Structure 1
Amino acid sequence: MGVITLENEFAVAVAPAKLFKAYCLEIDTLLPKILPEHIKSSEIIEGNGGPGTIRKITFAEGKDLSYAKQKIEAIDEENLTYSFSLIEANVWKDAVEKVTYEHKFVATPEGGSICKRTSTYYIKGDAEINKDQIKDVYGKKTAGLFKAVEAYFLANPDA
């Protein structure tokens, strides 16, 4: 089994605690509301929202990814860290065992945030995954997600 690790940073004009709450704690209600053209639903299918919880995200029809299941690995509200593993999805099922995402939200001097993310891809057997494609495609998708969250909070500052 091979392992690919990528690191990204995403700048967001939303305070770290607010971004953490939205991205980590309120994802099931907030993401389908912010991105209805991409996310049909997000729901906890096992657990209470803490570590060990399994979440299923169902994407809108016509997307390459129709669903994904995540397992929450750790949540630290005090230090604004959050990690989860993508444990099942309809893409890469023959090539990737799981993907673990570790997030750390830090403040910027302007009052916004930087989300520092480490993604670790656990590759099955001799399967090959294009690291540059992962970095390009999924980095852009995550950046787009954070920009949508940012736009939502800029338009709804009391949310």
Structure 2
Amino acid sequence: MVAITYDMEVPSSIPAAKVFKAFVLDADNLIPKILPSAIKSVEIIEGDGGVGSVKLITFGEATSQLKSMKHRVDGLDKENFTYSYSIIEGDTLMEGIESISYHIKVVPTPEGGSICKNRSIYETKGDFQITEEQIKTGKEKALGIFKAVEAYLQANPDTYN
């Protein structure tokens, strides 16, 4: 098994607490509302939404090759704006991928904005290789979701205060 890790940082003018509330704490409601073609629904199928909970994500028509995935909440620290989860089942786990975990931290900046830091770890089976193109595609999708949430927050400045 080989671990492939990549990091991504996205700066935002939105304060860290507001980004965390929208992008993490209310993502199950907000993202299907603002990006229904990408994510149709998120349903908690085990737990209360906290650590150990399992969520079923159903993809929209924009991701026609993917139907659904399940992810487990591995960590949640509301005070330090950190969140981690692992994909445990579904179409996103390709034939050669054992698991994928994500670690998100939203860091306040001195200017009043934030930086969203994301570390993705792919555990592969055997000598399976993930291509640079696959990593780039994953980063672009994550950035697109983040930018959609950011645009929503800019258009609705009184939400998530």
TM-score range, shorter chain: over 0.9
Which stretches of structure 1, 4 residues or longer, exceed 4 Å deviation after superposition? none
Distance 1:62 1:144 in 2: 13
Local SS of the residue matching 1:106: strand
The equivalent residue for 2:151 is 151
The equivalent residue for 1:122 is 123
Instruction: Please tell me whether the aligned partners of residues 103 and 120 of structure 2 are also in contact (alpha carbons under 8 angstroms).
Output: yes
Instruction: Please tell me whether the aligned partners of residues 12 and 146 of structure 1 are also in contact (alpha carbons under 8 angstroms).
Output: no
CA RMSD after TM alignment = 1.4
Instruction: Please tell me whether the aligned partners of residues 97 and 123 of structure 2 are also in contact (alpha carbons under 8 angstroms).
Output: yes
Cα drift, residue 4 of structure 1: 0.3
Is 1:65 the counterpart of 2:56? The answer is no
Instruction: Note the alpha carbon deviations across 1:75-107, whole angstroms, 9 max, x for none.
Output: 001111110011122134311111111111111
Distance 2:62 2:30 in 1: 21
Q: Which runs of 5+ in 1 are unaligned?
A: none
* Equivalent position amino acid for 1:70 in 2: H
The equivalent residue for 1:77 is 78
Instruction: Note the alpha carbon deviations across 1:16-74, whole angstroms, 9 max, x for none.
Output: 11111112211111111111121110111111111110011111125132212111000
* Equivalent position amino acid for 2:96 in 1: A
Instruction: Please tell me whether the aligned partners of residues 38 and 62 of structure 2 are also in contact (alpha carbons under 8 angstroms).
Output: no
Instruction: Please tell me whether the aligned partners of residues 39 and 60 of structure 2 are also in contact (alpha carbons under 8 angstroms).
Output: yes
* Equivalent position amino acid for 2:90 in 1: A
The equivalent residue for 1:111 is 112
Alignment of 1:1-159 (within 5 A): 1-63=1-63, 64-130=65-131, 132-159=132-159
Using the aligned pairs only, state the percent identity: 47
Paired residues, what number? 158
